[in-house]
Structure 1
């Protein structure tokens, strides 16, 4: 039973990690594509509730692990393995591949894909006030489904902004966001997809009666999943220029302004608007 709990908590940790990334994808989608709507529900209380639900779901959906794994004899010693037979093993592996990999991966790909599409799609704004402000300032009628009208209002009311080239600065910000989102999805897929597919192939080969176990390959793919935990701080934190500037400022004990796209666009009194709290 001790070995079953070991595998159970491992599966719970993997599931919680995957669905936390999926929840972050949902939060990023609303923060970038629907910033004004996200302001109403992006609270600390709801964040705690969401994280709690992720962990509860992770415990519930992995209960089957307690009945699949147990201590079994292997070469004059005991090891942890399944004892339900090849068919049960294959069905269980198919289940965990679907729940722990493909569902959160599809959520991330779908939402981040929509964000990237929104950032790359330039349309004419339908707000007459924004159109008039743009015309009065000699700028092109520019808007995006991912950039709120509040942002354009902030841009045009900031006297330090050269309206003639703010379009170029917005495009630079779009490229940075797009690069980060692609890196997040790619890192998750590269680190986890090979391992899940490998185990699915192993279980299928056992069911077919032609085992294809390879210890070296399994060890490599397992290490790859561990690397996933180290990539998250890099993609979510160190790829953010404001975060790097804050760390550098803290280390050098000097006060430095927050760098990045906010420096160009946002008045200080509007810095804590929900659009930029990300």
Structure 2
């Protein structure tokens, strides 16, 4: 077992423990003004993240038009981020500042266990979205995931996430010290292998570098397919709209992935360095570095709703419907008007107009088709011949 009183072993090796010194003396006391600033910064994350991600979940689940494969994964991503922000951010800050664990053994285990599971679920959801976009654009003729299959994939993601994080739960422990209590990971010691280092290296690969590599390859192929050639000038309006819509979705998800990668990179570099150079992390300034790195990582949970609002008109309408009383009707129309029934009506109207055009050109000059009198006394065209060409696609 790791020596409980060794300062480097009690340091937060997983990002959720913040005891920088396992002796009874706390050398990392901060002035009140600095603690206040950090408290405002961390609490802001919780407010923005929980409120924004809850609204994202509501927009998708409360509007039938929004229930797509991509959006189901966005629901899973929003849930994981909101939960991690609500259950871990403030507790992490309190422990980092006070170096005293007030919350008992059960929450110590949950506090060490849940962030790994939530991060894994988040990045796997983004990877699933990238895979779905890749299949939809590069292989459009292959069958897409159904809603049932999507839910099954989400369930598998969470099962794998819980299994990956289980060692953090199993080896978590609390130890009373003179004047305070510490929450830490009591890793087992083996003569031939360093289980702790192997675990953290594997976790970093699985929750960061490997998924980002997969998403990078997928979005590179999708970007080449969507942006390699210009839209033909004589293409149908429906084709142009579809292509532009796909580009917008890909742009939004690339921004989401890049934001996640930028926020979590310092975190993973920080804790990988701690595994191999622990002596550096005994300096007094390291607490401020830790608080900054952890704030940046946890802030990734609050950016996605802002990105959705800025880059997607449907999400923007949903946020306006929740937070803006000035134009709720316009926002509701954006989310609800173009339902499948509405689209079928538009297609029928388009077909009817095409039919009338074809029939009118088929009538000889000087002739006029005999009108049919409807029940209300108006005249209607009696020609019902099918059009020569069918419209390509629907709105």
- TM category (shorter chain) comes to 0.5 to 0.7
Deviation of 1:91 (Å): 2.4
Matching of residue 98 in structure 1 with residue 205 in structure 2: yes
- In 1: Cα distance, 2:280 partner to 2:185 partner: 18
- In 1: Cα distance, 2:130 partner to 2:177 partner: 43
Give the TM-score normalised by structure 1. Answer: 0.67
Higher helix share: 1
Matching of residue 49 in structure 1 with residue 152 in structure 2: yes
Provide Cα deviations, 1:57-83, integer angstroms capped at 9, x if missing partner. 101122221344322355542211233
Q: May I ask how many residue pairs the two structures share in their alignment?
A: 227
Residues 219-258 of structure 1: matches in 2 within 5 Å? 219-236=291-308, 238-245=310-317, 248=320, 251-254=327-330, 256=333
Deviation of 1:198 (Å): 0.6
Structure 1 residues 48-57 or 184-193, which shifts more?
Answer: 184-193
Residues 94-173 of structure 1: matches in 2 within 5 Å? 94-122=201-229, 139=234, 155=236
Structure 1 residues 86-95 or 190-199, which shifts more?
Answer: 86-95
- In 2: Cα distance, 1:243 partner to 1:276 partner: 23
Structure 1 residues 61-70 or 50-59, which shifts more?
Answer: 61-70
Q: CA RMSD in A?
A: 3.6
Deviation of 1:13 (Å): 1.5
State the partner residue of 1:21: 126
Contact map agreement 1:112 1:181 (CA 8 A) in 2: no
Which has the larger Rg?
2
Give the TM-score normalised by structure 2. Answer: 0.49
- In 2: Cα distance, 1:73 partner to 1:247 partner: 47
Structure 1 residues 51-60 or 10-19, which shifts more?
Answer: 10-19
Provide Cα deviations, 1:228-261, integer angstroms capped at 9, x if missing partner. 1112223345411243246557843147568xxx
Deviation of 1:54 (Å): 0.5
Alpha-carbon distance change, 215 to 20 in structure 1, aligned in 2, over 3 angstroms: same
Which structure 2 segments of 5+ residues have no match? 1-104, 336-342, 349-392
- In 2: Cα distance, 1:114 partner to 1:10 partner: 31
Contact map agreement 2:172 2:185 (CA 8 A) in 1: yes
State the partner residue of 1:217: 289
Alpha-carbon distance change, 6 to 236 in structure 1, aligned in 2, over 3 angstroms: same
Which structure 1 segments of 5+ residues have no match? 125-133, 140-151, 259-265
Structure 1 residues 241-250 or 64-73, which shifts more?
Answer: 241-250
Alpha-carbon distance change, 216 to 24 in structure 1, aligned in 2, over 3 angstroms: same
Provide Cα deviations, 1:160-207, integer angstroms capped at 9, x if missing partner. x9xxxx6xx78866764554243122101111111111111112112x
Provide Cα deviations, 1:124-168, integer angstroms capped at 9, x if missing partner. 9xxxxxxxxx8xxx84xxxxxxxxxxxx6xx27x6xx9xxxx6xx
- In 1: Cα distance, 2:166 partner to 2:394 partner: 40
